[in-house]
Amino acid sequence: MANQPSQAPAKADQAGGKLNLFERYLTLWVFFCILAGIVLGRFFPGIAEALDAMSIYQVSMPIAICLFFMMYPIMKKIDFSQAKQAAKTPKPVLLTLVVNWLIKPFTMVAFTQFFLGWLFRPLIIGSEVIRGIEVPLADSYIAGTILLGIAPCTAMVLMWGYLSYSNQGHTLVMVAVNSLAMLFLYAPLGGWLLASNNLIVPWETIVLSVLIYVGLPLLAGAVSRTWIIGVTH
């Protein structure tokens, strides 16, 4: 009897099989970074104050620089011309847009108001001053959670797609569409949800955050991708 080919995938083809040491234990590194941040903030508060001072309209420039170098390599891989292919398979793209912009933001508001606005609010004491107005710390946490919940993930989607054996070409299309939608929908939706919940976040902060955290790496990735393809071809 002839030997039957093995049905088990090779180790190198398994999800995560090609990840390097840093990528494979990323969760562990994130935990250590959180722990290091807590320790530094506890015993060296001057560092946090110095970093916080380097902000424009309450947008931290050190964080912006770090996020740029995190987002840029992913944005460089995205072929935004593939966004046109979304018209050929509209159902997955429409489903993603509906979930990201019509369902997820409002469920995040509901969860946030329940947990931070009611259940745990007595535990969140103190206040902070925003543009001369004293704001309860709980409201700042609620506003931050709402803004975080509105933003669809971009950078990690490609890694999750790889780990789940997804269609990488289609994943690129979805990331491109969501990145472009975020530029136009995030600021007005975020401002409206915050105003509806009587939360104070300056419009300048929201718009500048979108431009720096998303627009800048997106533009840099698209330009450098076009330049690299032109040079190599």
**154 in a structural domain:** yes
Q: Report the pLDDT value the prediction gives residue 18, as an integer from 0 to 100.
A: 66
Q: Both 147 and 41 in a single domain?
A: no
**5 in a structural domain:** no
- Across the chain, which has 233 residues, the per-10-residue mean pLDDT values are 46 53 81 92 85 82 85 76 71 87 92 93 85 83 88 74 72 79 88 86 82 85 85 78
> How many domains does the chain divide into?
2
Query: What is the pTM (predicted TM-score) of this model?
Result: 0.70
Q: Report the pLDDT value the prediction gives residue 98, as an integer from 0 to 100.
A: 92
**173 in a structural domain:** yes
Q: Report the pLDDT value the prediction gives residue 122, as an integer from 0 to 100.
A: 92
**Alpha-carbon gap, residue 58 to 37, rounded angstroms:** 19
**223 in a structural domain:** yes
Residue 137: CB atoms within 10 A of its CB come to 12
Q: Both 45 and 89 in a single domain?
A: no
**209 in a structural domain:** yes
Q: Report the pLDDT value the prediction gives residue 76, as an integer from 0 to 100.
A: 80
Q: Report the pLDDT value the prediction gives residue 2, as an integer from 0 to 100.
A: 45
Residues with Cβ within 8 Å of 111's Cβ and at least 6 positions away in sequence, in order, are 149
CB 48 within 8 A of CB 40: yes
Q: Report the pLDDT value the prediction gives residue 49, as an integer from 0 to 100.
A: 81
Q: Report the pLDDT value the prediction gives residue 19, as an integer from 0 to 100.
A: 66
**Alpha-carbon gap, residue 26 to 202, rounded angstroms:** 34
* 3 state DSSP class of 229: helix
Q: Report the pLDDT value the prediction gives residue 103, as an integer from 0 to 100.
A: 93
**1 in a structural domain:** no
**Alpha-carbon gap, residue 211 to 181, rounded angstroms:** 13
Domain with 106, as residue range(s), is: 57-232
Q: Report the pLDDT value the prediction gives residue 104, as an integer from 0 to 100.
A: 92
Segment 14-41, tens digit of pLDDT: 444 566 777 778 789 889 999 998 998 8
Q: Both 185 and 218 in a single domain?
A: yes
Q: Exposed/middle/buried for 192, CB within 10 Å: 0-12, 13-18, 19+?
A: exposed
The two structure tokens encoding residue 175: 């990331």
Q: Report the pLDDT value the prediction gives residue 1, as an integer from 0 to 100.
A: 45
**135 in a structural domain:** yes
